[in-house]
């Protein structure tokens, strides 16, 4: 017995010797931080706060509508909240001291970024809040502080888009890679069917979608969906728009129904971003949007699709006020990207450029908000060690294109925004994809909302070829004009608005560029041998493309090459 006790004492002493001197203080600090976070979260839940918890250390609170104050009719700020990012070495005691000095309550937290949503005891006007944030930023422990901006964001889709089949042909009869027309034009114009020829090189990849809800029971999206947390799964409310976007990215191939999405090897991780209208919410705060983005990135999503924006409410007469809101949006969203990159996360965010202004004319994509509003001028990276250029290299803004009736020329869609921030154009007019059952399961939609998931799908397909690529390298590949075939020109507004032409994304060339990064040896060319008999060899007719209708009630359901395994 004495020997056993002696051995245990010896092991204990050896263990104590092996401990690093900083281990005990670190353990104590971790315990204090955990206890403080538990207390802050408990206090937030016990108060009169509408708290949305996704994880113990990732939650935010919906702002009371009465505290959302308009700067314009559709741009606002929360008059009793600020968002604070702390430096990584800030202790829990220093954080608590700052909260106490403000009399503020923690109502939101993203611990991975050291970010807190604080609710102040008193309401303040916009300039008083900005002054407070400036003072907070002067503190050594604070990396960045900002108002919690709010927008009336909308889906970037054009409503009421009739489709006329003037030639009387069904969509299935219009398949022609050399004559781009019909519902499959978005696949042929981007040469996606040719990119699928390299399917043996595609790896699994996670794609995040922030949208207005998803039909997880759709026949052509079975097994595709997951959610970052159980909260997001419970909060998903199926919608036409989100389901349509999901189908463009990754509707199932080879299941003998419906369509094929661009990146069949993608797993879709989804967040329903829409305000809860049943609870009287009409505003979408920045906190709501980037908390969803953070949750997707933490879940392993590499490419994030956001088909939403605010430019549809933009009025030129309110440009000055909009510029204030967009400038702050750009700072907040850029710092979020920088903080994630600094922590080793690698990703691409693809956002739609927007569908014009309130006057129904294209405008600068800057006014579409969120990631669209990030520029070299307003990007903020603090002490993260990340440059402004690195932030912008992880953001893609997608404009929308359409095709001319000759099937060979491409225009910028009449509704598509433009500007220096737009990275690439993609098919966005008359795109055929999955839809909710009440809409027949499939439908056509138009908008930069449709162009963004085309870009997202091709980015995911390209990245899946070589998972060792960085997000910045993938953007460089798919946005390189050398990896495109067509340009989209200003056609509808050429007499009114001077809009430059933009390249249109190309899946085939992007995938082939990614293949080159693998350093694979070239296949040897076999020598051509003469026929022994001297008779000419018979030529084999190319196999015809067979298109089969799906079993939906919708009268027009297309099948693409991926559906029949070619």
CATH number at 234 reads 3.40.50.200
Q: In Å, what is the CA distance from 334 to each residue of 329, 339, 388, 389?
A: 8, 9, 8, 10
Query: What number of other Cβ atoms are within 10 A of residue 409's Cβ?
Result: 15
Distance CA 507, CA 1 (A): 73
Q: Per the structure block, which two tokens stand in for 403?
A: 């095709």
CB 184 within 8 A of CB 558: yes
Residue of 227, 195, 196, 203 lying closest to 213 (CA atoms): 227
221, part of any domain: yes
| E strand or H helix at 379 | none
Do residues 271 and 136 share a domain?
A: no
Any domain includes 563:
no
CA distance 119 to 108: 9
Which of 120, 151, 182 is the endpoint of a domain? 151
Phi-psi region of 488 (alpha: psi -120 to 50; beta: other; left: phi over 0): beta
Q: Which domain holds residue 232?
A: 173-516
Reduce the DSSP state of residue 399 to 3 states and report it: strand
Q: Which residues pair with 406 in a beta bridge?
A: none
Say whether 296 sits in a helix, a strand or coil. helix
* Domain end among 472, 499, 516: 516
Residues 196 and 59 in one domain: no
Are residues 195 and 147 located together in one domain of the fold? no
Residue 471 falls inside a structural domain: yes
Q: Residue 131's CB: how many other CB atoms inside 10 A?
A: 12
Tokens describing residue 424 = 């690439």
Q: Is 330 within the bounds of a domain?
A: yes
Residues 122 and 225 in one domain: no
The H or E element spanning position 513 is helix 507-516
Same-domain check for residues 322 and 389: yes
What is the SS3 assignment for 146? strand
Q: Is 463 helix (H, G, I), strand (E, B) or coil?
A: helix
Whether 482 and 349 map to the same domain: the answer is: yes
| Residue 527 is assigned to a structural domain of this protein | no
In a domain? residue 541: no
Q: Mark the ranges of the chain whose per-residue pLDDT is less than 50.
A: 2, 5, 8-22, 157, 159-177, 280-281, 525-566
- Decide if 372 contacts 421 (C-beta within 8 A): yes
Q: In this structure, what is the dihedral angle of CA atoms 106, 107, 108, 109, given to the nearest 10 degrees?
A: 30
Residue 369 CA neighbour count, 13 Å, CB half: 30
Cα–Cα distance between 401 and 381 in angstroms, integer? 33
pTM as predicted: 0.82
Question: Do 110 and 219 share a domain, yes or no?
Answer: no
Residue 535 lies in a domain: no
- State whether the Cα torsion 244-245-247-248 is positive or negative: positive
For residues 137 and 215, membership in a common domain is answered with no
The Cα 242–Cα 271 span in angstroms is 10
Which strand (E) or helix (H) includes residue 137?
Answer: helix 126-137
**Nearest CA to 510 among 191, 50, 162, 234?**
191
For residues 40 and 114, state if they share a domain.
yes
- Cα(127)–Cα(198) distance, integer angstroms: 55
Enter the DSSP assignment of 469: S
Q: What is the pLDDT of residues 339-384, one digit of tens each?
A: 999 999 999 999 999 999 988 899 999 999 999 999 999 999 999 9
The reply to whether 88 falls in a domain is: yes
pLDDT at 546: 27
CA atoms of 307 and 232, how far apart (whole Å): 18
In this structure, are 335 and 217 located in the same domain? yes
Look at residues 222, 235, 218, 223 and name the one whose alpha carbon lies nearest to residue 271: 235
Closest C-alpha to 151, from 437, 468, 467, 372: 372
Dig out the tokens for 36 from the structure. Answer: 């403080």
222 and 143, same structural domain? no
pLDDT, position 167: 40
Q: Return the bridge partners of 76, or none.
A: 70, 150
Q: 516, 533, 556 — which closes off a domain?
A: 516
171 CB-near residues (< 8 Å, 6+ apart): 165, 182, 183, 184, 432, 556, 558
Residue 136 is predicted with a pLDDT of 95
Domain count, the chain: 2
CA distances from 68 to 19, 73, 310 (A): 52, 11, 16
Indicate if 289 and 393 belong to the same structural domain. Answer: yes
């Amino acid at each position: 017995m004495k020997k056993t006790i002696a051995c245990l004492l010896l092991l204990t002493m050896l263990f104590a010797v092996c401990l690093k001197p900083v281990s005990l203080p670190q353990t104590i600090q971790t315990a204090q931080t955990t206890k403080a976070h538990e207390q802050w979260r408990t206090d937030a839940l016990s108060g009169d706060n509408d708290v949305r918890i996704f994880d113990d250390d990732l939650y935010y609170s919906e702002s009371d509508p009465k505290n959302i104050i308009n700067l314009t009719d559709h741009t606002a700020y929360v008059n009793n909240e600020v968002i604070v990012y702390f430096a990584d070495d800030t202790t829990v005691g220093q954080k608590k001291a700052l909260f106490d000095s403000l009399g503020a309550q923690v109502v939101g937290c993203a611990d991975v970024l050291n970010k807190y949503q604080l609710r102040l005891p008193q309401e303040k006007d916009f300039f008083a809040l900005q002054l407070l944030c400036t003072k907070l930023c002067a503190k050594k422990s604070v990396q960045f502080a900002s108002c919690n901006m709010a927008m009336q964001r909308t889906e970037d889709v054009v409503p009421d888009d009739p489709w006329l089949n003037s030639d009387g042909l069904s969509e299935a009869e219009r398949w022609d890679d050399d004559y781009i027309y019909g519902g499959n034009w978005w696949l042929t114009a981007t040469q996606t069917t040719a990119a699928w020829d390299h399917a043996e090189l595609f790896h699994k990849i996670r794609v995040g979608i922030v949208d207005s809800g998803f039909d997880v029971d759709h026949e052509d999206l079975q097994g595709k969906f997951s959610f970052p947390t159980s909260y997001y799964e419970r909060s998903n409310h199926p919608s036409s728009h989100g389901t349509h976007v999901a189908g463009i990215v990754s509707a199932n191939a080879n299941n003998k129904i419906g369509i094929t999405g661009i990146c069949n090897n993608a797993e879709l991780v989804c967040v329903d971003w829409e305000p809860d209208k049943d609870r009287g919410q009409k505003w979408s705060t920045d906190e709501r949007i980037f908390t969803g983005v953070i949750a997707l990135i933490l879940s392993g999503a590499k490419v994030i699709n956001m088909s939403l924006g605010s430019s549809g409410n933009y009025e030129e007469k309110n440009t000055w006020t909009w510029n204030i809101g967009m400038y702050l949006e750009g700072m907040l969203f850029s710092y979020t990207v920088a903080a994630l990159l600094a922590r080793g996360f690698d990703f691409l965010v693809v956002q739609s450029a927007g569908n014009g202004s309130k006057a129904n004319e294209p405008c600068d994509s800057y006014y579409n908000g969120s990631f669209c509003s990030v520029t070299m001028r307003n990007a903020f990276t603090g002490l993260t060690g990340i440059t402004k250029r690195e932030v912008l290299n992880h953001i893609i803004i997608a404009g929308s294109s359409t095709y001319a009736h000759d099937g060979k020329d491409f225009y910028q869609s009449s509704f598509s925004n433009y500007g220096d921030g737009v990275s690439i154009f993609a098919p966005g007019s008359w795109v055929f994809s999955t839809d909710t059952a009440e809409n027949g399961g499939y439908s056509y939609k138009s908008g930069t909302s449709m162009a963004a998931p085309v870009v997202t799908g091709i980015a995911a397909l390209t990245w899946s070829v070589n998972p060792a690529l960085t997000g910045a390298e993938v953007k460089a590949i798919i946005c390189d004009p050398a990896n495109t075939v067509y340009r989209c020109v200003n056609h509808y507004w050429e007499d009114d608005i001077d809009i430059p032409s933009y390249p249109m994304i190309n899946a085939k060339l992007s995938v082939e560029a990614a293949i080159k990064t693998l350093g694979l040896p070239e296949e040897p060319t076999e020598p051509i041998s003469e026929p022994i008999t001297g008779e000419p060899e018979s030529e084999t007719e190319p196999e015809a493309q067979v298109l089969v209708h799906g079993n939906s009630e919708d009268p027009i359901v297309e099948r693409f090459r991926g559906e029949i395994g070619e």
